[in-house]
Structure 1
């Protein structure tokens, strides 16, 4: 028997995002307002017919809208919040968290936002320029990261413009020269490679008075190309980016500038790797990063990041997640084409071999992992070089890519691996919410758990607890 879909919270959120009354949305769907009210209150399941009408009327991706991944991600985020010791005495159970996430997503988001502000210690009077917007209590990088992830790192408007432009530029392998010509002919901008001393610590800078884009001589070739594409994106897609910024309503100028930069970065990658061509090549080469780097003149990180953006309705790629860390374990990038199986507030599980990539520099390290909810993922870790190498910024970074095990057979790096019988490593989110008992890497017991430590008995885990 097919599982009934109760999607009331998502329907209500979609309606409010579009600024519609129930009567207006009901008319678009060809149903009565009372029936829509029943759907929103989960008193009726959403049928296949309703889903199809949603797709037609509101350009909704049915797969994403009806999937459990979005609500699971919200519930996992809330689980991290309520794992904080300040809530230990409340003994908030998993079922209560699921109910809050599913039935009151706006309240769940509000709780998460407030907790994030508390963690970041920004519950101080707003700075001038924030215009009284309490959302500014969250740091710009957190706000932008959450905004991008809420849209599964896919922006159709930028994709369409970049695909048109990228296709017109010619051979992607030598795209740097067409990009440079486009900047010169359309916008009167010269591109010049200069010494790092002239840039005073910047990797690139645009002088609007001189119509000059300066790129550091220390940038690697692929990053020089990306830098040109980035500047062209700022100019070429200014109207599109302005509309996206206005619709996003960032809380302050700092956040707006960071989101502006993120949109331009997104468009630059889409110009270098136009959606249709890139997806076709990715499928042809079984998502081989090295083959795609050679095909599009990009580097490993650029291709890996592009994997996470392939969410076009009707032409989706494999929904990858991606992390980038430094040798100390600091996470500097975190993107996902669908749900992300790791902690929002903490680092990564030490049992995931993303960290081991630093001991195998230049090699591809694969691993099958299983999260506490029973989901399995195929992951790839490898080191990358920084975009610009100086005495202060030298050294390696590591990226981790992963996808649900159901897609692994499509990957070049999974060929030859018996996915049915290969060893699986149990991993978890941050220790404070990880329910795994026998873990030698555990740094702290999960919040609210009762320790089972006894002086006459030592266990594998340094913090045994009562499940």
Structure 2
């Protein structure tokens, strides 16, 4: 569904305040009247094309960042939160107004809803994870939201990792390059066949040789990030203002992992190669010595202002359907609690290990996607090793299909070729889904003991 009007009042106000300008001075530089600016800042009028040009000319502003991506995510999250019994229904236009004009209030509501869920679960003596809701402890959820609302792109750390790769990962073997850098810092890299995946003890970094080489390199780069750019990571954590030390500690690990992925797959080189190879995951994995999962995850982070790649969603699920990683730079939003839609091809990937599955899918809001899925279970390293199994899903809106090698030959212009998928049963609007596991929370249910259709109840 293509947007024809752009409302960006919050961004305009933030830009004006960042430059310490009055509304009158800001309006003059944009070439509009004071009343017109006031209407735009309050989202009563869309941003005109002449204003977009003035923003780029007067303030060197990247107008590609003027979108409603965060507002759409906030609306989706609030809509799901309001689906809880007892909270009542709020019209989507009202939610859009809150998300566009008062995003801090929307985030505060979502934080309050998370606390409400925790208290309710504790009072009922229910472990939400055992109940199958997938509800995570609050610190993990807070960190997930931090990356979610940053579009999973942290500019300062991404550029620092890219600079490290350009200066130090220049040889044939990046792992040996890292060993040389660590040695120069007074740290010895030791690789052992057994033991923990990674252990750092000041002058020694020990990693296990059991995982594939791409995983070994990632773990070394994680520690390199903490050693080389610990101050930058701490400064980023300070800006994030996490509510608990646990959340801060979790985010520190996440930011070090972000550095590792960005160093392994440097933004500029990787983005260019992705375009040239039409996002062929296997070719990209060989080109950069990475795993397919690492490549797919990195594709979902290419959101650098002025250099954005194709906006992808990325998800990883286990055989039970539990989402263990999620990110969306598209309009597709994942359920915050529970598993993904069973009609999505990522669940079928476990049936065909080592093969890519493609799917044309349409969500209830009418947006169409090209979806890619693959089982990515890694070898355990020994006969008796326990092997966690996962599958990944990657996709983009259909307008970008021409940039994906996987979309070749797909009937992207045929509406009948798109399979209906949703977010999760508890908030899905589809009334005739044969795979529905439970009724939507906001829809009344009619039970008739003398009548049975595809479902044991009827939705009104």
> Could you state the TM-score of these two structures normalised by the residue count of structure 2?
0.87
User: What's the CA shift for 1:311?
Assistant: 1.1
Check the 8 A contact 1:324/1:399 in 2, yes or no.
yes
Distance 1:151 1:28 in 2: 31
Q: How many pairs were matched up?
A: 442
Mark the runs of 5 or more structure 2 residues left unpaired by the alignment.
Answer: 123-135
Q: Which residue number in structure 1 is paired with residue 452 of structure 2?
A: 458
Matches for 1:17-56 after TM superposition, within 5 Å: 26=26, 36-54=37-55
- Give a deviation string over 1:403-433, Cα, whole Å, max 9, x none: 1111122112222223223721101112121
Q: Which residue number in structure 2 is paired with residue 434 of structure 1?
A: 428
Q: Which residue number in structure 2 is paired with residue 223 of structure 1?
A: 215
Q: Which residue number in structure 1 is paired with residue 206 of structure 2?
A: 214
Residue 6 of structure 1 pairs with residue 7 of structure 2: yes
Matches for 1:323-338 after TM superposition, within 5 Å: 323-338=315-330
User: What's the CA shift for 1:359?
Assistant: 1.0
Mark the runs of 5 or more structure 1 residues left unpaired by the alignment.
Answer: 125-136
Matches for 1:270-285 after TM superposition, within 5 Å: 270-285=262-277
Of 406, 413, 416, which aligns to 1:420? 413
User: What's the CA shift for 1:341?
Assistant: 3.0
Matches for 1:308-457 after TM superposition, within 5 Å: 308-386=300-378, 393-421=386-414, 423-457=417-451
User: What's the CA shift for 1:294?
Assistant: 0.5
Q: Which residue number in structure 1 is paired with residue 178 of structure 2?
A: 179
User: What's the CA shift for 1:159?
Assistant: 2.2
| CA RMSD after TM alignment | 2.9
- Give a deviation string over 1:10-56, Cα, whole Å, max 9, x none: 4446667x596855993895578765443322344322343345457
Structure 2 vs 1, CA of residues 449 and 123 (structure 1 numbering), >3 Å: closer, same or farther? closer
Check the 8 A contact 1:9/1:103 in 2, yes or no.
yes
Of 93, 96, 99, which aligns to 2:94? 96
- Give a deviation string over 1:375-397, Cα, whole Å, max 9, x none: 01111111112486675741321
Distance 2:297 2:217 in 1: 16
Moved more, 443-452 or 50-59: 50-59
Secondary structure of the residue that 1:311 maps to in structure 2?
coil
Check the 8 A contact 1:323/1:399 in 2, yes or no.
yes
User: What's the CA shift for 1:9?
Assistant: 3.9
Q: Which residue number in structure 1 is paired with residue 75 of structure 2?
A: 75
Check the 8 A contact 1:323/1:401 in 2, yes or no.
yes
User: What's the CA shift for 1:69?
Assistant: 3.4
Distance 1:21 1:273 in 2: 40
User: What's the CA shift for 1:301?
Assistant: 1.0
Q: Which residue number in structure 2 is paired with residue 132 of structure 1?
A: none
Secondary structure of the residue that 1:85 maps to in structure 2?
coil
Structure 2 vs 1, CA of residues 60 and 446 (structure 1 numbering), >3 Å: closer, same or farther? farther
User: What's the CA shift for 1:174?
Assistant: 2.2
Check the 8 A contact 1:22/1:36 in 2, yes or no.
no
Residue 85 of structure 1 pairs with residue 77 of structure 2: no
User: What's the CA shift for 1:173?
Assistant: 6.1
Check the 8 A contact 1:440/1:462 in 2, yes or no.
no
Q: Which residue number in structure 1 is paired with residue 158 of structure 2?
A: 159
Check the 8 A contact 1:376/1:404 in 2, yes or no.
yes
Check the 8 A contact 2:426/2:440 in 1, yes or no.
yes
